[in-house]
Amino acid sequence: MHPSGNPAESGQHELHVQHIACANNAAFVLRFIVQRLDGDRVISQTPTGGGFPAGQTRSVDLSALRFHGQALDVGDRVRIRARALGGTRRDGPSVAFAPNGHTATFSVRGTTLSFSINPV
């Protein structure tokens, strides 16, 4: 957590966002969850809805999510964990939460057994 409540004032140059968007540019139906992190360790996760087909993008407002009944604090780290229906799972890069209206968009590309998650 950042003491000032404003990550820009902390001198850090990491990505702080309120929304995460996942663009399905892959050859499968995609599902994803949002994981809350402590360092590299997952401490909780929450679903984001059902699967969606290639060519669509889904967005999640992180300020509306609850992890074990708790809202995110400014600076909390999260990442998406994407799952190809009928295939494997992959973790995306992490971002820090801030209620600033900004969006981190990630593109999922590949096939059910071999795909990538990259920032747009």
Distance CA 104, CA 17 (A): 6
pLDDT surpasses 90 at 25: yes
pLDDT at residue 14, rounded to an integer: 79
Mean per-residue pLDDT over the chain, rounded: 91
Looking at this protein, which amino acid is placed at residue 96? A
pLDDT at residue 18, rounded to an integer: 98
C-alpha separations of 83 from 25, 29, 50, 59 in Å: 13, 9, 11, 16
Distance CA 118, CA 120 (A): 6
pLDDT surpasses 60 at 72: yes
List the alpha helices (DSSP H) in 7-109: none
| Per-residue pLDDT band at 15 (split at 50, 70, 90) | confident
Question: Model-level pTM greater than 0.95?
Answer: no
Q: Mean pLDDT, to the nearest integer, of 82-103?
A: 97
